[in-house]
Structure 1
């Protein structure tokens, strides 16, 4: 009789674990309470699904600031290029974009989840719409899973329930509760890749999107991170791709003070920007200062820049001094945003924190405390920067857990 394995969670890591275990000949049951598998997977990358990063071991590890060393073994056996080959073998053509981000050529995340579902069906994985409520453990060995609707005996269980971000997708923390009940330590959960709150100054810029700007993060006035791209001002602070990436580097709120600087004109050096200002000011020489920035800035930003520049709004442009112009140039290259903290973890794309890595075998993803219990994906205390690295963690840990669970005890 083939080995019985129950996988809890039908997201990226869970589907990969179920597929891998079934490919090894195991009899696999996949528990997922949602009507659709891969609910969170389908909304990643704005619905395009940044499947992985076209990278090898060293690059992958360099992009996992939280417990990256724990992933050395699984990444060395299944890196970004292996993930690409896996999905292309399932019939999903892929493309590589800026930063080696990998997407389906179709730009449809549903193509990824549909390919995984087809593979699950082909392997006759039993899909059950049920929510797991507790692990059945006897004498330190897993015996199965108790669900709301039934009992699922198993020789191995793979927990892949995700974190606590985007709870509407089903990530509500039940995996962490079951892990704790089994004796595991769950490190504090917080948001990574999360919008940021400011002290209220951004509110009047709400709805304004800035493209092709440079964002720099300072931790206690020390430069921490910098990147180009797009950001969005909101009623609570700032969001958008640049900000989500930056937030992953801001890991010590409460202990450190963070602030952002936005270079509104990154294509121009300060001397070039000064020449641009001189040209604009010549055109608007007889206008009030507050009416002389229309060619330079979005309309919504002008009152804020005027106020922060400390130049009287109705001072005539031809009366501005070189010092005032220099201060304006500095403001445009270093527009400040004081950060009060991250948004709640429920607003985050990824959960940082989770089941303590020291209690998990890094080669097999098996619990060191309960024989036959395995972990995969966001449930574990590992998280990465943007660029497909978090999904790569899901694929690599899911694959390792599925492989080891099917082999264990045989």
Structure 2
């Protein structure tokens, strides 16, 4: 007789949802979590506010997953953004929609989401053990029989759902354990790499702009001299380079370009709402207004204060020149700079600092209808451990919840049929 019918390894979004769904459908479930508390990564997501999902039509969701979005097609339809918000509301977490369709708890407190999920598990009688590190998935004759911890404790079950996360934010417990399990069990693991990660730049002047946030700008990504992608929205300068929502979205492609040895460049349009001609007229109006001032004192209406000295240097225009002496060619250089501020990308930050891991267990070896392994009977995968990743905006958490939902239900159907 097995100790449990289903064991879930990992107490994040996918793991808690999987455990709850399996229990809700009648299985005896054990949830094992490496850290002392469940939902550590949920608690810090969205700067502690938790961007749960996005309100975009689920039919259009797939295009927001550069990493194997098609794998999620049926999974997201089974448990979509509407179902997730309804589920959370049932457990006391009302949600709201913000810019870009991002969905957050009305409370702006990610802990409320963790508490709701924990309440869901308690209500259904899921056994939870925290502070335990699993060393091995136990298999006999091609079928899962349970798991073993590093303390050599064994827990037996008819099915195991691995929801250990990726390799980003290791302090939350995501230290790549699932990748190690997968390789040992004969699964192919697509090399884990950072996705949604800040970018390092070659230009030293970015340090002068540390902390400067820019809104309503457009960042265009160029790799090997070819335009690859563009994003509009908010970005942030840091001491090492750039970050912020639009940078994170472009970072996956940028990182791939760097790893392939291609020249990678970001071009920032600080005034994307204006054509070059319109921007020229705007600058001429400002110059007329400040015609007797020095050039260095004539850009306050156009740019944030901290950006002005950098732009003046890059423009090559004498900062002490009286504005009415700035000629047409110099003005054209300024316009070009404002609409194509170039940054050379040298690298991403490490995978440990990434919001999401790209790579993971190859989706070709997972049945998308059940999340079951095609190699080991009774083994299921869900969440960031799988080679699926999305852009910012709530898409990654939605994918984790949806994969967990499907894995929990499918595993329960399997073990109940074995009774």
Counterparts of 1:48-87 in structure 2, within 5 Å, are 48-87=49-88
CA offsets per residue over residues 165-199 of structure 1, 9 Å max, x none?
A: 01111111111111111111111111111000111
Give me the whole-angstrom Cα distance separating, in 2, the residues matched to 1:81 and 1:258.
38
SS in 2 for 1:187: strand
Task: Please list the CA deviations of residues 233-263 of structure 1 after superposition, one character each: whole Å capped at 9, or x if unmatched.
Answer: 1111001122112214435223343211222
**Match in the other structure for 1:22:** 23
The answer to whether residue 244 in structure 2 is matched with residue 243 in structure 1 is no
Note if contact 2:254-2:345 (Cα within 8 Å) is conserved in structure 1.
no
Matched, 1:144 2:146: yes
Q: Distance in 2 between matches of 1:206 and 1:35?
A: 35
Whether the aligned pair in 2 keeps the contact of 1:55 and 1:81 (CA below 8 Å) is no
Comparing 229-238 with 161-170, greater Cα deviation is found at 229-238
Question: Which of 280, 292, 295 is residue 286 of structure 1 equivalent to?
Answer: 292
Query: What is the deviation of 1:112?
Result: 1.0
1:107 Cα offset (Å): 1.5
Distance change in 2, residues 1:287/1:98 (3 Å): closer
Could you tell me which residue of structure 1 aligns to residue 126 of structure 2? 125
Distance 1:65 1:132 in 2: 31
* Cα distance in 2, alignment partners of residues 56 and 366 from structure 1: 27
2:212 matched residue in structure 1: 208
Q: Is the 8 A contact 1:56 1:81 kept in 2?
A: no
Task: Give the unaligned 5+ runs of structure 1.
Answer: none
Aligned partners of 1:68, 1:273: CA distance in 2, in Å?
Answer: 39
CA–CA separation in structure 1 for the residues paired with 2:107 and 2:330: 51
Range moving further from structure 2, 154-163 or 251-260? 251-260
2:368 counterpart of 1:362: yes
Alignment-derived partner of residue 238 in structure 2: 234
Whether the aligned pair in 1 keeps the contact of 2:65 and 2:391 (CA below 8 Å) is: yes
Correspondence 1:102 to 2:103: yes
How do residues 187-202 of structure 1 correspond to structure 2 at under 5 angstroms? 187-201=190-204, 202=206
Q: What's the counterpart of residue 376 of structure 1?
A: 382
- C-alpha contact (below 8 Å) 1:364/1:401 kept by paired residues: yes
**Backbone CA RMSD of aligned residues:** 1.8
- 2:285 is paired with a residue whose SS is helix
Cα drift, residue 88 of structure 1: 1.9
TM, length-normalised to structure 1: 0.95
Relative to the length of structure 2, the TM-score reads 0.93
Shift of 1:108: 1.4
TM-superposed CA distance for 1:41, in Å, is 0.5
Partner SS for 1:408: helix
Deviation at 1:200, TM superposition (A): 3.2
Partner residue, 1:35: 36
User: What is the alpha-carbon distance in structure 2 between the residues aligned to residue 67 and residue 32 of structure 1?
Assistant: 27
Match of 2:169 in 1: 166
| Structure-2 separation of matches of 1:251 and 1:20 | 36
Contact 2:39-2:114 at 8 Å conserved across structures: yes
1:338 aligns with 2:344: yes
Contact 1:55 1:79 in 2 (8 A): no
SS of 2:299's equivalent in the other structure is coil
Provide structure 2 residue ranges, at least 5 long, that are not aligned to the other structure.
none
Aligned length: 410
- Provide the rounded CA distance (Å) in 1 between the counterparts of 2:65 and 2:333: 39
Ranges of 4+ aligned residues in structure 1 off by more than 6 Å: none
CA distance in 2, matches of 1:63, 1:251: 18
Structure 2 match to 1:263:
269
For residue 228 of structure 2, what is the aligned residue in structure 1? Answer: 224
